[in-house]
């Protein structure tokens, strides 16, 4: 069963009887956010090193994971003892903190760590990753165990209980604030005035699209542009890797479990794939064997050549059936 299409709801600017309950919950959520921010202001704990947060002001879909990976590699290459600190969304860990990787070996399963920390652990080498509901606790462990002095907060913009030296906020250039409402009616995690806490902003998926923004929210701070570019396609059967142009002209059936599924579909079309079918599931969707079987049947019925998903989608199917012709395009998506 597919989950609620929150991505679609968060783009809808209209108001109707059906949005009234969401509007009420959004108002109550806003009251709670303001109370929390007021209580935690100037109470943040400090870690023994440089702390940089990669985050956003909306719920998902701006490319935080590839940004964390890029910053981690930069820190390591420049001689810092970096560590990634994540909350581990969706993870079942019960300890105060859980070491996902020591920089060399992945030490827990995706069920325990959550999908994104586990995916980073399999991609990033030489940098420990720790999940904890308290980034301070995770950071202290990283410092004591690995001598870490450069702490990268994955999705840490709202985690103000920890002081940071730099806050970088990622925004989708095409639709930075959705319908402009707070959760659950809209995608905003906090009021837009919170953007003033950031030190720099990156508009992702910008391409040639001019970022839409109101200068009053950005306080004359640095604004940068970035884009998501397909890197490679991996066919798990034999671990064969291909240039993204590999799928040009090929009959493709695709599915995804990411926050902005349309961006994945657009990438496939831009690469020249003949997309026969595209099935969009919600972000972090836990694919079952039944889901995969239904997708397989559709793929066969349409006589597809390649059955394809994102790297994150491949990870989320580990507990289900993984097919020989499933590709993993857009490394870092």
CATH number of domain containing 57: 3.40.50.300
Phi, psi of 310 (to 5 degrees): -80, 170
d(CA 158, CA 162): 10
Are residues 191 and 101 located together in one domain of the fold? yes
Where is 203: in which H helix or E strand? strand 200-204
Are residues 211 and 275 located together in one domain of the fold? no
d(CA 127, CA 129): 7
pLDDT of 142 > 90? The answer is: yes
Are residues 117 and 184 located together in one domain of the fold? yes
* Per-residue confidence (pLDDT) for residue 238, from 0 to 100: 58
Token pair 């859980």: residue: 98
Residue 220 lies in a domain: yes
Are residues 197 and 287 located together in one domain of the fold? no
Of 177, 202, 225, the domain-final residue: 225
Q: Please, which pLDDT band fits residue 236 given cuts at 50, 70 and 90?
A: confident
Rounded to an integer, the average pLDDT of 241-256 is: 93
Residue 333 lies in a domain: no
Q: Is the dihedral of CA 50, 229, 254, 179 positive or negative?
A: positive
Query: What token pair was written down for 219?
Result: 């306080």
Q: Please, which pLDDT band fits residue 305 given cuts at 50, 70 and 90?
A: very high
Residue 7 lies in a domain: no
pLDDT of 332 > 90? The answer is: no
Task: Answer whether the bond into residue 184 is a cis peptide, omega within 30°.
Answer: yes
What is the CATH classification number for the domain harbouring 315?
A: 3.40.50
* Tally of domains within the chain: 2
Residue 30 lies in a domain: no
**Minimum mean pLDDT range among 113-117, 124-128, 222-226, 243-247:** 222-226
Q: Please, which pLDDT band fits residue 315 given cuts at 50, 70 and 90?
A: low
Look up the domain containing 101 and give its range: 50-225
Are residues 76 and 199 located together in one domain of the fold? yes
d(CA 274, CA 272): 7
pLDDT of 330 > 50? The answer is: no
């Amino acid at each position: 069963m597919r989950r609620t299409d929150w991505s679609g709801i968060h783009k809808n600017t209209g108001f109707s009887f059906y949005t009234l309950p969401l509007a009420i919950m959004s108002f109550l959520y806003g009251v709670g956010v303001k109370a929390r921010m007021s209580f935690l202001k100037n109470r943040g704990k400090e870690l023994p090193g440089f702390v940089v947060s990669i985050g956003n002001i909306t719920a998902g879909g701006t490319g935080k994971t590839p940004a964390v990976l890029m910053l981690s590699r930069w820190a390591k290459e420049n001689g810092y003892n970096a560590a990634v600190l994540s909350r581990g969304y969706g993870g079942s860990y019960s300890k105060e903190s859980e070491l996902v990787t020591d920089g060399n070996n992945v030490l827990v399963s995706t069920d325990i760590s959550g999908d994104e920390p586990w995916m980073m652990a399999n991609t990033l080498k030489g940098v420990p990753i720790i999940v904890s509901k308290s980034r301070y606790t995770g950071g202290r462990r990283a410092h004591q165990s690995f001598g870490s002095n450069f702490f990268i907060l994955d999705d840490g913009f709202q985690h103000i209980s920890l002081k940071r030296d730099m806050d970088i906020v990622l925004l989708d250039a095409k639709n930075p604030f959705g319908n402009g409402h707070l959760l659950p009616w809209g995608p905003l995690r906090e009021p837009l005035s919170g953007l003033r806490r950031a030190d720099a902003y990156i508009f992702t998926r910008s391409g040639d699209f001019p970022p839409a923004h109101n200068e009053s929210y950005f306080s004359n701070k640095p604004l940068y542009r970035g884009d998501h570019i397909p890197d490679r396609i991996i066919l798990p059967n034999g671990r064969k890797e291909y240039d993204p142009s590999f799928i040009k002209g090929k009959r493709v059936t695709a599915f995804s479990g990411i926050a902005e599924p349309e961006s994945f579909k657009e990438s496939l079309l831009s690469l020249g794939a003949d997309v026969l079918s595209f099935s969009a599931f919600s972000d972090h969707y836990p694919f079952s064997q039944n889901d995969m079987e239904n997708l397989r049947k559709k793929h066969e019925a349409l006589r597809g050549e390649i059955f394809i998903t994102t790297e994150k989608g491949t990870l989320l199917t580990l507990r289900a059936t993984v097919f020989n012709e499933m590709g993993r395009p857009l490394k870092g998506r």
